[in-house]
Structure 1
Amino acid sequence: MSKILAVEDLLTTGRQLGMYMVTNLVGYAIHSAVVLPLIYLALTRRNPYRITRGILQALVTAVGTNSSAATLPVTVRCCEDNLKIDRTICRFVLPIGVTINMDGTAIFQVVTVVFIAQLNAIPLNVIDIFIICLCTTLTSVGSAGIPGGGFVTLFVIMSAVGLPPDDVYFVLPVVWLLGRVITMVNISGDCVAAALLAHYFPRQGAGAVHREQEENMIDHADIV
Protein backbone atom coordinates (compact mmCIF):
# COMPACT_ATOMS: atom_id res chain seq x y z
CA MET A 1 0.00 0.00 0.00
CA SER A 2 2.85 2.40 0.76
CA LYS A 3 4.27 1.87 -2.73
CA ILE A 4 0.90 2.56 -4.33
CA LEU A 5 0.44 5.76 -2.32
CA ALA A 6 3.92 6.92 -3.31
CA VAL A 7 3.09 6.77 -7.03
CA GLU A 8 2.72 10.26 -8.50
CA ASP A 9 0.97 9.31 -11.76
CA LEU A 10 -1.25 6.37 -10.90
CA LEU A 11 -2.81 6.16 -14.37
CA THR A 12 0.54 5.87 -16.17
CA THR A 13 1.83 3.36 -13.66
CA GLY A 14 -1.37 1.34 -14.08
CA ARG A 15 -0.87 1.24 -17.84
CA GLN A 16 2.73 0.14 -17.38
CA LEU A 17 1.59 -2.58 -15.01
CA GLY A 18 -0.98 -3.69 -17.57
CA MET A 19 1.71 -3.99 -20.25
CA TYR A 20 3.81 -5.90 -17.75
CA MET A 21 0.99 -8.42 -17.34
CA VAL A 22 0.51 -8.71 -21.10
CA THR A 23 4.24 -9.31 -21.61
CA ASN A 24 4.21 -12.07 -19.01
CA LEU A 25 1.12 -13.75 -20.47
CA VAL A 26 2.55 -13.62 -24.00
CA GLY A 27 5.76 -15.19 -22.73
CA TYR A 28 3.85 -17.98 -21.00
CA ALA A 29 1.78 -18.62 -24.12
CA ILE A 30 4.82 -18.80 -26.39
CA HIS A 31 6.65 -21.14 -24.05
CA SER A 32 3.77 -23.52 -23.34
CA ALA A 33 2.08 -23.48 -26.76
CA VAL A 34 5.13 -23.21 -29.04
CA VAL A 35 8.48 -23.97 -27.37
CA LEU A 36 7.51 -27.05 -25.34
CA PRO A 37 5.45 -28.63 -28.17
CA LEU A 38 8.28 -28.04 -30.65
CA ILE A 39 10.77 -29.72 -28.32
CA TYR A 40 8.48 -32.70 -27.87
CA LEU A 41 7.70 -32.90 -31.60
CA ALA A 42 11.36 -32.69 -32.59
CA LEU A 43 12.42 -35.43 -30.18
CA THR A 44 9.49 -37.84 -30.55
CA ARG A 45 7.76 -37.05 -33.88
CA ARG A 46 4.43 -37.33 -32.08
CA ASN A 47 1.54 -34.92 -31.55
CA PRO A 48 2.56 -32.71 -28.59
CA TYR A 49 -0.89 -31.33 -27.92
CA ARG A 50 -2.17 -34.70 -26.76
CA ILE A 51 -0.27 -33.98 -23.54
CA THR A 52 -2.29 -30.82 -22.99
CA ARG A 53 -5.54 -32.71 -23.52
CA GLY A 54 -4.43 -35.40 -21.09
CA ILE A 55 -3.55 -33.01 -18.26
CA LEU A 56 -6.50 -30.61 -18.50
CA GLN A 57 -7.69 -31.60 -15.04
CA ALA A 58 -4.25 -30.87 -13.58
CA LEU A 59 -4.17 -27.48 -15.31
CA VAL A 60 -7.57 -26.54 -13.89
CA THR A 61 -6.43 -27.66 -10.45
CA ALA A 62 -3.30 -25.52 -10.84
CA VAL A 63 -5.47 -22.45 -11.45
CA GLY A 64 -7.39 -23.15 -8.25
CA THR A 65 -4.47 -24.01 -5.99
CA ASN A 66 -1.71 -21.79 -7.42
CA SER A 67 0.72 -24.46 -6.26
CA SER A 68 2.62 -27.13 -8.18
CA ALA A 69 3.05 -29.16 -5.01
CA ALA A 70 -0.67 -29.14 -4.21
CA THR A 71 -1.49 -30.12 -7.80
CA LEU A 72 1.05 -32.97 -7.84
CA PRO A 73 -1.39 -35.83 -7.02
CA VAL A 74 -3.72 -34.75 -9.82
CA THR A 75 -0.78 -34.34 -12.21
CA VAL A 76 0.45 -37.85 -11.44
CA ARG A 77 -3.01 -39.32 -11.94
CA CYS A 78 -3.47 -37.53 -15.29
CA CYS A 79 -0.12 -38.73 -16.59
CA GLU A 80 -0.72 -42.31 -15.49
CA ASP A 81 -4.37 -42.67 -16.51
CA ASN A 82 -4.71 -40.34 -19.49
CA LEU A 83 -1.23 -40.28 -21.02
CA LYS A 84 -0.44 -43.91 -20.04
CA ILE A 85 3.01 -42.97 -18.76
CA ASP A 86 4.68 -45.61 -16.65
CA ARG A 87 4.07 -45.27 -12.94
CA THR A 88 7.74 -45.25 -11.98
CA ILE A 89 8.56 -42.50 -14.46
CA CYS A 90 5.64 -40.36 -13.25
CA ARG A 91 6.48 -40.73 -9.59
CA PHE A 92 10.14 -40.03 -10.19
CA VAL A 93 10.06 -37.18 -12.73
CA LEU A 94 7.02 -35.20 -11.58
CA PRO A 95 8.02 -34.68 -7.90
CA ILE A 96 11.49 -33.58 -9.05
CA GLY A 97 9.89 -31.26 -11.59
CA VAL A 98 7.81 -29.62 -8.87
CA THR A 99 11.06 -28.64 -7.16
CA ILE A 100 13.50 -27.79 -9.95
CA ASN A 101 11.56 -27.36 -13.21
CA MET A 102 10.13 -23.84 -12.96
CA ASP A 103 9.74 -22.63 -16.54
CA GLY A 104 6.99 -20.12 -15.80
CA THR A 105 8.76 -18.85 -12.71
CA ALA A 106 11.93 -18.12 -14.70
CA ILE A 107 9.97 -16.13 -17.30
CA PHE A 108 8.19 -14.19 -14.57
CA GLN A 109 11.42 -13.29 -12.80
CA VAL A 110 13.21 -12.08 -15.93
CA VAL A 111 10.28 -9.94 -17.09
CA THR A 112 9.86 -8.49 -13.60
CA VAL A 113 13.51 -7.50 -13.24
CA VAL A 114 13.53 -5.81 -16.66
CA PHE A 115 10.26 -4.05 -15.82
CA ILE A 116 11.62 -2.68 -12.54
CA ALA A 117 14.79 -1.53 -14.32
CA GLN A 118 12.70 0.36 -16.88
CA LEU A 119 10.57 1.96 -14.16
CA ASN A 120 13.71 3.33 -12.56
CA ALA A 121 15.29 4.29 -15.92
CA ILE A 122 18.27 2.05 -15.15
CA PRO A 123 19.93 0.60 -18.30
CA LEU A 124 20.95 -3.04 -18.26
CA ASN A 125 24.17 -3.98 -20.04
CA VAL A 126 25.26 -7.39 -21.34
CA ILE A 127 26.82 -8.36 -18.01
CA ASP A 128 23.60 -7.48 -16.17
CA ILE A 129 21.59 -9.61 -18.60
CA PHE A 130 23.99 -12.52 -18.06
CA ILE A 131 23.71 -12.13 -14.28
CA ILE A 132 19.91 -12.03 -14.53
CA CYS A 133 19.85 -15.21 -16.61
CA LEU A 134 22.22 -17.01 -14.25
CA CYS A 135 20.43 -15.91 -11.08
CA THR A 136 17.03 -16.66 -12.58
CA THR A 137 18.10 -20.19 -13.46
CA LEU A 138 19.47 -20.83 -9.98
CA THR A 139 16.59 -19.26 -8.07
CA SER A 140 13.92 -20.93 -10.22
CA VAL A 141 15.53 -24.28 -9.44
CA GLY A 142 15.52 -23.45 -5.74
CA SER A 143 12.03 -21.98 -5.60
CA ALA A 144 9.42 -23.95 -3.71
CA GLY A 145 6.30 -25.13 -5.52
CA ILE A 146 4.03 -23.01 -3.33
CA PRO A 147 2.05 -19.80 -3.98
CA GLY A 148 4.45 -16.88 -4.28
CA GLY A 149 7.57 -19.03 -4.18
CA GLY A 150 9.10 -17.31 -7.20
CA PHE A 151 8.21 -13.85 -5.91
CA VAL A 152 10.33 -14.26 -2.77
CA THR A 153 13.48 -15.09 -4.74
CA LEU A 154 13.09 -11.91 -6.81
CA PHE A 155 14.83 -9.95 -4.06
CA VAL A 156 18.02 -11.94 -4.67
CA ILE A 157 18.04 -11.17 -8.41
CA MET A 158 17.24 -7.50 -7.85
CA SER A 159 20.14 -7.11 -5.45
CA ALA A 160 22.51 -8.94 -7.81
CA VAL A 161 22.02 -6.33 -10.58
CA GLY A 162 21.89 -3.30 -8.30
CA LEU A 163 18.15 -2.59 -8.48
CA PRO A 164 16.15 -1.43 -5.44
CA PRO A 165 14.61 -4.61 -3.96
CA ASP A 166 11.66 -2.76 -2.44
CA ASP A 167 10.36 -1.89 -5.92
CA VAL A 168 9.36 -5.53 -6.34
CA TYR A 169 6.21 -4.64 -4.42
CA PHE A 170 4.99 -2.69 -7.46
CA VAL A 171 4.02 -5.99 -9.13
CA LEU A 172 2.53 -7.55 -6.01
CA PRO A 173 -1.08 -6.56 -6.89
CA VAL A 174 -1.01 -8.77 -10.02
CA VAL A 175 1.14 -11.64 -8.74
CA TRP A 176 -1.93 -13.50 -7.46
CA LEU A 177 -3.21 -13.75 -11.05
CA LEU A 178 0.09 -14.37 -12.81
CA GLY A 179 1.01 -17.03 -10.26
CA ARG A 180 -1.85 -19.25 -11.40
CA VAL A 181 -0.73 -19.09 -15.03
CA ILE A 182 2.86 -19.67 -13.92
CA THR A 183 1.77 -22.85 -12.14
CA MET A 184 0.08 -24.09 -15.32
CA VAL A 185 3.26 -23.49 -17.31
CA ASN A 186 5.39 -25.25 -14.70
CA ILE A 187 3.11 -28.30 -14.69
CA SER A 188 3.08 -28.44 -18.48
CA GLY A 189 6.87 -28.53 -18.52
CA ASP A 190 6.92 -31.33 -15.95
CA CYS A 191 4.48 -33.44 -17.96
CA VAL A 192 6.39 -32.91 -21.21
CA ALA A 193 9.57 -34.06 -19.48
CA ALA A 194 7.81 -37.18 -18.17
CA ALA A 195 6.36 -37.91 -21.63
CA LEU A 196 9.79 -37.54 -23.25
CA LEU A 197 11.35 -39.94 -20.77
CA ALA A 198 8.50 -42.42 -21.28
CA HIS A 199 9.04 -42.24 -25.05
CA TYR A 200 12.71 -43.17 -24.85
CA PHE A 201 12.38 -45.66 -21.99
CA PRO A 202 8.96 -47.26 -22.43
CA ARG A 203 9.90 -50.44 -20.57
CA GLN A 204 12.02 -48.99 -17.79
CA GLY A 205 9.32 -48.52 -15.16
CA ALA A 206 8.09 -50.43 -12.17
CA GLY A 207 5.04 -51.54 -14.11
CA ALA A 208 7.21 -53.17 -16.73
CA VAL A 209 9.34 -54.83 -14.04
CA HIS A 210 6.27 -56.15 -12.28
CA ARG A 211 4.85 -57.50 -15.53
CA GLU A 212 8.11 -59.26 -16.30
CA GLN A 213 8.19 -60.74 -12.79
CA GLU A 214 4.62 -61.96 -13.15
CA GLU A 215 5.39 -63.49 -16.55
CA ASN A 216 8.45 -65.23 -15.11
CA MET A 217 6.39 -66.58 -12.21
CA ILE A 218 3.73 -67.87 -14.60
CA ASP A 219 6.36 -69.52 -16.80
CA HIS A 220 8.00 -71.09 -13.74
CA ALA A 221 4.63 -72.40 -12.53
CA ASP A 222 3.95 -73.93 -15.94
CA ILE A 223 7.32 -75.66 -15.89
CA VAL A 224 6.71 -77.02 -12.38
Structure 2
Amino acid sequence: MSDSSIVQDEIDRFGAMAGDWWDPSGASAMLHKLNPVRLAYVRDQVDRHWQGDEQGLKPLAGRTALDVGCGAGLLAEPLARLGATVTAIDAAPGLIAAAQLHARGQGLDVDYRVSTVEALDGQYDLVTSMEVIEHVADPRAFVAALERRLAPGGLLILSTPNATGWSKLLTITLAEGVGAIPRGTHDFDKFIAPERMQALLADAGLQCIDVEGIAFSPTRGLHLSDDLRLNYLVAAVRA
Protein backbone atom coordinates (compact mmCIF):
# COMPACT_ATOMS: atom_id res chain seq x y z
CA MET A 1 0.00 0.00 0.00
CA SER A 2 1.42 3.37 -1.01
CA ASP A 3 0.96 6.45 1.15
CA SER A 4 2.62 8.84 -1.28
CA SER A 5 0.07 11.58 -0.65
CA ILE A 6 0.75 11.70 3.07
CA VAL A 7 2.48 14.69 4.65
CA GLN A 8 1.98 14.23 8.38
CA ASP A 9 2.45 17.90 9.25
CA GLU A 10 -0.35 18.76 6.82
CA ILE A 11 -2.66 16.16 8.35
CA ASP A 12 -1.96 17.47 11.83
CA ARG A 13 -2.51 21.09 10.77
CA PHE A 14 -5.87 20.45 9.14
CA GLY A 15 -6.93 17.98 11.79
CA ALA A 16 -6.50 20.69 14.41
CA MET A 17 -9.19 22.70 12.58
CA ALA A 18 -11.84 19.98 12.96
CA GLY A 19 -13.62 21.59 15.91
CA ASP A 20 -14.83 24.65 14.02
CA TRP A 21 -14.70 23.38 10.43
CA TRP A 22 -18.42 24.07 9.97
CA ASP A 23 -18.24 27.55 11.51
CA PRO A 24 -18.39 30.00 8.57
CA SER A 25 -16.51 32.52 10.70
CA GLY A 26 -13.93 30.05 12.03
CA ALA A 27 -10.55 28.85 10.79
CA SER A 28 -12.17 27.39 7.66
CA ALA A 29 -14.00 30.60 6.74
CA MET A 30 -12.20 30.88 3.40
CA LEU A 31 -13.29 27.36 2.46
CA HIS A 32 -16.89 28.35 3.20
CA LYS A 33 -16.49 31.24 0.76
CA LEU A 34 -14.85 28.99 -1.84
CA ASN A 35 -17.35 26.15 -1.59
CA PRO A 36 -20.32 27.71 -3.45
CA VAL A 37 -17.99 28.67 -6.30
CA ARG A 38 -16.55 25.17 -6.51
CA LEU A 39 -20.00 23.60 -6.29
CA ALA A 40 -21.30 25.77 -9.14
CA TYR A 41 -18.42 24.54 -11.29
CA VAL A 42 -19.03 20.91 -10.32
CA ARG A 43 -22.72 21.23 -11.18
CA ASP A 44 -21.94 22.78 -14.56
CA GLN A 45 -19.39 20.11 -15.46
CA VAL A 46 -21.70 17.29 -14.31
CA ASP A 47 -24.53 18.63 -16.46
CA ARG A 48 -22.22 18.92 -19.46
CA HIS A 49 -20.55 15.56 -19.02
CA TRP A 50 -23.72 13.54 -18.54
CA GLN A 51 -25.94 15.89 -20.56
CA GLY A 52 -28.36 16.19 -17.70
CA ASP A 53 -31.26 18.51 -17.03
CA GLU A 54 -29.74 21.78 -15.87
CA GLN A 55 -32.85 22.44 -13.76
CA GLY A 56 -32.91 18.98 -12.19
CA LEU A 57 -32.43 18.73 -8.43
CA LYS A 58 -30.62 15.37 -8.47
CA PRO A 59 -28.18 15.39 -11.43
CA LEU A 60 -26.02 12.74 -9.74
CA ALA A 61 -28.84 10.31 -8.97
CA GLY A 62 -27.72 6.76 -9.65
CA ARG A 63 -24.04 7.77 -9.73
CA THR A 64 -21.19 7.30 -7.30
CA ALA A 65 -18.90 10.09 -6.14
CA LEU A 66 -15.58 10.13 -4.29
CA ASP A 67 -14.33 13.26 -2.54
CA VAL A 68 -10.61 13.00 -1.76
CA GLY A 69 -9.30 15.14 1.07
CA CYS A 70 -12.86 15.85 2.13
CA GLY A 71 -12.11 17.65 5.39
CA ALA A 72 -15.30 17.72 7.44
CA GLY A 73 -17.56 17.40 4.41
CA LEU A 74 -18.12 20.86 2.91
CA LEU A 75 -18.32 19.41 -0.60
CA ALA A 76 -19.33 15.83 0.21
CA GLU A 77 -22.65 16.89 1.73
CA PRO A 78 -23.79 18.90 -1.34
CA LEU A 79 -22.77 16.01 -3.59
CA ALA A 80 -25.06 13.75 -1.55
CA ARG A 81 -27.86 16.30 -1.87
CA LEU A 82 -27.35 16.25 -5.63
CA GLY A 83 -28.21 12.56 -5.54
CA ALA A 84 -24.81 10.86 -5.53
CA THR A 85 -23.85 7.86 -3.44
CA VAL A 86 -20.87 9.54 -1.79
CA THR A 87 -17.66 8.13 -0.37
CA ALA A 88 -15.47 10.80 1.21
CA ILE A 89 -11.96 10.25 2.55
CA ASP A 90 -9.44 12.20 4.57
CA ALA A 91 -6.27 11.14 6.35
CA ALA A 92 -7.10 13.20 9.46
CA PRO A 93 -9.26 11.14 11.87
CA GLY A 94 -10.54 14.27 13.64
CA LEU A 95 -11.92 15.69 10.41
CA ILE A 96 -13.69 12.44 9.55
CA ALA A 97 -15.24 12.33 13.03
CA ALA A 98 -16.48 15.92 12.60
CA ALA A 99 -17.80 15.07 9.12
CA GLN A 100 -19.72 12.04 10.38
CA LEU A 101 -21.26 14.02 13.22
CA HIS A 102 -22.37 16.87 10.96
CA ALA A 103 -23.80 14.54 8.29
CA ARG A 104 -25.89 12.74 10.89
CA GLY A 105 -27.27 16.06 12.06
CA GLN A 106 -28.24 16.86 8.47
CA GLY A 107 -29.84 13.46 7.87
CA LEU A 108 -27.32 12.69 5.12
CA ASP A 109 -25.82 9.29 4.34
CA VAL A 110 -22.16 9.80 3.39
CA ASP A 111 -19.61 6.99 3.64
CA TYR A 112 -16.77 8.82 5.43
CA ARG A 113 -13.48 6.98 5.84
CA VAL A 114 -10.06 7.72 7.30
CA SER A 115 -7.98 6.77 4.28
CA THR A 116 -5.60 7.88 1.57
CA VAL A 117 -6.65 7.59 -2.05
CA GLU A 118 -3.80 5.14 -2.62
CA ALA A 119 -5.26 2.77 -0.03
CA LEU A 120 -8.79 2.89 -1.43
CA ASP A 121 -10.41 0.27 -3.65
CA GLY A 122 -13.19 0.67 -6.19
CA GLN A 123 -14.02 3.16 -8.91
CA TYR A 124 -16.38 6.12 -8.95
CA ASP A 125 -18.29 8.06 -11.59
CA LEU A 126 -17.25 11.43 -10.16
CA VAL A 127 -13.95 12.04 -8.35
CA THR A 128 -13.31 15.41 -6.73
CA SER A 129 -10.30 16.74 -4.83
CA MET A 130 -10.45 20.40 -3.88
CA GLU A 131 -7.47 22.36 -2.55
CA VAL A 132 -5.60 19.13 -1.81
CA ILE A 133 -2.92 18.56 -4.44
CA GLU A 134 -0.83 21.51 -3.19
CA HIS A 135 -0.54 19.73 0.17
CA VAL A 136 0.60 16.25 -0.96
CA ALA A 137 4.12 14.85 -1.04
CA ASP A 138 4.08 13.64 -4.66
CA PRO A 139 1.57 15.34 -6.99
CA ARG A 140 2.34 13.02 -9.89
CA ALA A 141 1.64 9.88 -7.85
CA PHE A 142 -1.44 11.54 -6.34
CA VAL A 143 -2.98 12.28 -9.75
CA ALA A 144 -2.19 8.74 -10.88
CA ALA A 145 -4.00 7.41 -7.81
CA LEU A 146 -7.01 9.60 -8.58
CA GLU A 147 -7.07 8.20 -12.12
CA ARG A 148 -7.20 4.64 -10.76
CA ARG A 149 -10.32 5.51 -8.78
CA LEU A 150 -12.11 6.95 -11.83
CA ALA A 151 -14.70 4.67 -13.41
CA PRO A 152 -14.90 4.29 -17.20
CA GLY A 153 -16.76 7.31 -18.55
CA GLY A 154 -16.19 9.15 -15.28
CA LEU A 155 -15.33 12.77 -14.51
CA LEU A 156 -12.47 14.12 -12.38
CA ILE A 157 -12.52 17.66 -10.95
CA LEU A 158 -9.65 19.33 -9.08
CA SER A 159 -9.00 22.80 -7.71
CA THR A 160 -5.77 24.42 -6.52
CA PRO A 161 -4.02 27.79 -6.21
CA ASN A 162 -2.03 28.93 -9.22
CA ALA A 163 1.74 29.36 -8.97
CA THR A 164 1.71 33.12 -9.55
CA GLY A 165 2.83 36.18 -7.66
CA TRP A 166 -0.81 37.29 -7.44
CA SER A 167 -1.81 34.02 -5.80
CA LYS A 168 1.08 34.25 -3.36
CA LEU A 169 0.13 37.84 -2.47
CA LEU A 170 -3.57 37.16 -1.88
CA THR A 171 -3.37 33.66 -0.44
CA ILE A 172 -0.25 33.81 1.73
CA THR A 173 0.87 37.40 2.27
CA LEU A 174 -2.60 38.88 2.77
CA ALA A 175 -5.03 36.08 3.71
CA GLU A 176 -2.63 34.25 6.00
CA GLY A 177 -1.13 37.53 7.17
CA VAL A 178 -4.44 38.85 8.53
CA GLY A 179 -5.64 35.45 9.76
CA ALA A 180 -8.33 34.85 7.13
CA ILE A 181 -6.48 31.59 6.48
CA PRO A 182 -4.48 29.99 9.32
CA ARG A 183 -0.83 31.00 9.06
CA GLY A 184 1.36 28.26 7.55
CA THR A 185 -1.47 26.61 5.61
CA HIS A 186 0.24 27.09 2.24
CA ASP A 187 3.73 26.61 0.83
CA PHE A 188 4.10 28.63 -2.36
CA ASP A 189 6.77 26.24 -3.67
CA LYS A 190 4.05 23.55 -3.87
CA PHE A 191 1.60 25.66 -5.89
CA ILE A 192 0.92 24.21 -9.33
CA ALA A 193 0.49 26.19 -12.55
CA PRO A 194 -2.25 25.08 -14.99
CA GLU A 195 0.32 23.99 -17.56
CA ARG A 196 1.97 21.69 -15.05
CA MET A 197 -1.42 20.41 -13.92
CA GLN A 198 -2.34 19.49 -17.48
CA ALA A 199 0.99 17.67 -17.82
CA LEU A 200 0.32 15.72 -14.61
CA LEU A 201 -3.10 14.75 -15.90
CA ALA A 202 -1.68 13.67 -19.27
CA ASP A 203 1.00 11.59 -17.56
CA ALA A 204 -1.77 9.74 -15.71
CA GLY A 205 -3.66 9.01 -18.93
CA LEU A 206 -6.20 11.78 -18.44
CA GLN A 207 -7.37 14.51 -20.80
CA CYS A 208 -8.08 17.97 -19.43
CA ILE A 209 -11.41 19.10 -20.90
CA ASP A 210 -11.86 22.39 -19.07
CA VAL A 211 -9.96 24.96 -16.99
CA GLU A 212 -11.68 27.83 -15.21
CA GLY A 213 -10.35 30.39 -12.77
CA ILE A 214 -11.57 31.43 -9.34
CA ALA A 215 -10.96 35.16 -9.08
CA PHE A 216 -11.56 37.74 -6.34
CA SER A 217 -12.89 41.26 -6.52
CA PRO A 218 -14.09 43.58 -3.73
CA THR A 219 -17.54 43.83 -5.34
CA ARG A 220 -18.10 40.18 -6.30
CA GLY A 221 -15.95 38.33 -3.82
CA LEU A 222 -14.76 34.93 -5.04
CA HIS A 223 -16.29 33.97 -8.39
CA LEU A 224 -15.72 31.85 -11.48
CA SER A 225 -13.69 33.71 -14.07
CA ASP A 226 -11.44 33.45 -17.11
CA ASP A 227 -8.74 34.88 -14.84
CA LEU A 228 -6.63 31.93 -13.64
CA ARG A 229 -4.05 33.90 -11.68
CA LEU A 230 -5.40 33.26 -8.17
CA ASN A 231 -6.94 29.80 -8.18
CA TYR A 232 -8.43 27.49 -10.78
CA LEU A 233 -10.46 24.34 -11.35
CA VAL A 234 -9.87 21.63 -13.92
CA ALA A 235 -12.12 18.90 -15.27
CA ALA A 236 -10.64 15.78 -16.83
CA VAL A 237 -11.66 12.44 -18.33
CA ARG A 238 -9.76 9.35 -19.37
CA ALA A 239 -7.82 10.06 -22.56
TM-score, with length taken from structure 2:
0.29
Q: Highest Rg: 1 or 2?
A: 1
Which structure features the higher share of strand residues? 2
Which of structures 1 and 2 has the larger relative contact order (alpha carbons within 8 angstroms, sep 6+)? 1
Decide which structure has greater helix share.
1
TM-score normalised over the length of structure 1 = 0.30
